[in-house]
Amino acid sequence: MKALSIQNLTKVYKNGFEALKGISLDVNQGDFFALLGPNGAGKSTTIGIITSLVTKSSGQVKVFDADIDIDSEAAKSYIGLVPQEFNFNGFEQVKHILISQAGYYGMPAHEAEPRADELLLQLGLWEKRHTPSRALSGGMKRRLMIARALVHKPQLLILDEPTAGVDIELRRSMWLFLQAINAQGTTIILTTHYLEEAENLCRNIAIIDKGLIVENTDMKSLLNRLDKETFILDLKSPLPADFTLSGFNLHRLDNTTLEVELKRGEGLNTLFTALSLQGIEVSSMKNKANRLEELFLALVDKSEATL
Amino acid sequence: MTTKFARHQVAFNTLLSREIRRFIRIWPQTLLPPAITMTLYFIIFGNLIGSKIGEMGGFNYTQYIAPGIIMMSVINNAYSNVASSFFSAKFQNHIEELIVAPVPNYLILAGYVAGGTARGLCVGLIVTLVSLFFTHLSIQHVFITISMVFLSAILFALGGFINAIYARNFDEISIIPTFILTPMTYLGGVFYSISLLPEFWQNVSLLNPILYMVNAFRYGMLGTSDIAVEIAFVIIILCIVSLTSFALYLLNKGTGIRN
């Protein structure tokens, strides 16, 4: 079953700006789906239309087969939204925000209370449950938005840049949390500027640019398209002054750091063997850039060139 | 599996209780000022000036103005509660909590209007209790008194909602109360009987809907009125139907709340 089906969706704002130029997209139930694109590409407009915050110009959107025009209540009841900007009442207490949101979805207080408590505990907000939301730190506000989106147990969770501005520790813990709820069956659509995040979490991906879908495939196939990768090698001891290694595209960054560009199919083992033969030991290795980042830039540049 | 009706009922109760919680939380801004202001009205207009005026409509002046003062506080508070609450929800973007949820537009309207009505009635009760320190009040027609105060609160809560839909900043939710609502209230027979006015101004006063509410409410409490109470009910119900239809039209269109 499709958790989300979008057909020929367009949006032209009152000022004439064409934010979406007829996009079509399917997200399967249970998927962890990345919707990526540069700023102003149309990601937030797409999410706004799915969640009824933005009125579409034309096209069709179905959420678990419920058409947002024909059966909007059913469509809305499937969705939990974590928006990009904080949008809760700053004067309301954290727990009240969750219970109210559950109530809007028809969940009575005797069900909403324990559900709110469960989420407050899971997301580390229990101690702050009676605090007005404006007094929370940025990271806590992000977690509150996730708790609020989940309080009615949605089948489709949409996260619009949920980790923007949060520290790496919190980001990692949010990844684990999202992976856990995806494993329990919740379909997740994620937009993010951290491409490492999309690469680690998502199985399928669509890239949107200037209102058009420029790529829509599974993450593995997309990453397989990379024809080269660049690695940074940290060496245990300084390189000899006359060091060369034929057959590899190497750059010496400093005496103990090498940059190596490997073509697709070139094994790392060959490189390490060649280095070992020269008595050079590698202490650590990392990608120069995130793999998805390289593809993303290539795809967005390509779409720019064709427009 | 809960029915749609049950879900809607929960959503409505949630919205209403959130609105009530809001005006109780900020009681120094919502419940206290009308009590103080109306106490001053009773002291200055009722006791000090009123003692020189003598009787009006067969009642002492404090007794005569009490229903109008109560109605004035109900109208102002019902209006400003919805105007400020709905505009704040727009301003802080937490109106999005409701838009993304499966809450139909008529329930959003009903929840906010019920919240405004609750505050109007709550303040009306406080001002009634205050008035008892200054005069004796009895209710001549219970149904007319209760239904009139209830309908008036609903009508002005609807007005506040429409104001908040169009408002783009906080100034725009104070313009109408300051420049339209307050003058209409003062000219709506709160402090005088329109029989004191020249005929031309009596006829002009009849165009003011607040005159009908104040007088019908006064009729319910004191048994005296400048207008026919039946006409007051017809006018108020017509106004409520018109404003409800207009507010729903704006919500369905997404005016002020959706891109």
Token code pair at residue A75? 């469509």
A294 to chain B, minimum CA–CA distance in Å? Answer: 34
A108-150 pLDDT per residue, tens:
999 999 999 999 999 999 999 999 999 999 889 999 999 999 9
Q: A87 and B93: CB-CB below 8 Å? A: yes
Whole-prediction pTM:
0.85
Q: Is the pLDDT of residue B49 over 70?
A: yes
DSSP letter at A132 equals: B
Among chain B residues, CA nearest to A86: B93
Cβ-based contacts of A83 with chain B (< 8 Å): 96
**C-alpha separations of A154 from A74, B75, B85 in Å:** 11, 41, 28
Among chain B residues, CA nearest to A19: B259
Give the residue numbers spanning the domain of B119. Answer: 4-253
> Please, what is the average pLDDT of chain B?
92
**What is the per-residue pLDDT for A76?**
96
Buried b / exposed e along B150-177 (16+ C-beta atoms within 10 A): ebbbbbbbbbbbbbbbebeeeeebeebb
Alpha-carbon gap, residue A42 to A49, rounded angstroms: 11
Residue B258, in any domain of the structure = no
Residue B259, in any domain of the structure = no
Q: A55 and B259: CB-CB below 8 Å? A: yes
Q: A101 and B101: CB-CB below 8 Å? A: yes
Q: In chain A, positions 245-304, which contact chain B (CB-CB < 8 Å)?
A: none
Q: Domains in chain A and their CATH numbers?
A: 2-92+152-224 (3.40.50.300), 228-292 (3.30.70.1560)
Does B54 lie at the interface with A, CB-CB under 8 angstroms?
no
Q: A106 and B2: CB-CB below 8 Å? A: yes
> Do the beta carbons of residue B19 and residue B81 sit within 8 Å?
yes
**What is the per-residue pLDDT for A104?**
96
Q: Is the pLDDT of residue B128 over 90?
A: yes
Among chain A residues, CA nearest to B85: A89
Q: A52 and B102: CB-CB below 8 Å? A: no
Residues B149-162, mean pLDDT to the nearest whole number:
96
Does A51 lie at the interface with B, CB-CB under 8 angstroms?
yes
Residues B233-254, mean pLDDT to the nearest whole number:
95
**What is the per-residue pLDDT for A242?**
79
Residues B93-98, mean pLDDT to the nearest whole number:
93
Q: A53 and B8: CB-CB below 8 Å? A: no
Find the distance separating the first CA and the last CA of chain B, reported in whole Å: 34
Residues B191-200, mean pLDDT to the nearest whole number:
88
What residue type is assigned to position A42 of the chain? G
Among chain B residues, CA nearest to A81: B100
Alpha-carbon gap, residue B243 to B209, rounded angstroms: 14
Cβ-based contacts of A89 with chain B (< 8 Å): 88-89, 92, 94
Alpha-carbon gap, residue B206 to B197, rounded angstroms: 12
Among chain B residues, CA nearest to A44: B259
**What is the per-residue pLDDT for A290?**
63
- Give the model's confidence band at B56: pLDDT under 50 very low, under 70 low, under 90 confident, else very high: confident
Q: B259 and A87: CB-CB below 8 Å? A: no
Low-confidence residues of chain A: pLDDT under 70: 226-227, 264-265, 289-292, 294-295, 297-298, 300-307
Dihedral (Cα; A138, A140, A145, A150), 10-degree rounding: 160
Domain count, chain B: 1
Does B99 lie at the interface with A, CB-CB under 8 angstroms?
yes
Q: Closest by alpha carbon to A152, among B66, B164, B10?
A: B10
In this structure, of A131-140, B52-61, B94-103, B126-135, the range with the lowest mean pLDDT score is B52-61
Q: In chain A, positions 138-157, which contact chain B (CB-CB < 8 Å)?
A: 148
Residues B136-140, mean pLDDT to the nearest whole number:
88
Alpha-carbon gap, residue B223 to A73, rounded angstroms: 49
Residue B60, in any domain of the structure = yes
Residue B247, in any domain of the structure = yes
Cβ-based contacts of A76 with chain B (< 8 Å): 100-102
> Please, what is the average pLDDT of chain A?
88
Q: B258 and A53: CB-CB below 8 Å? A: yes
What is the ipTM, given to two decimal places? 0.88
Among chain B residues, CA nearest to A92: B22
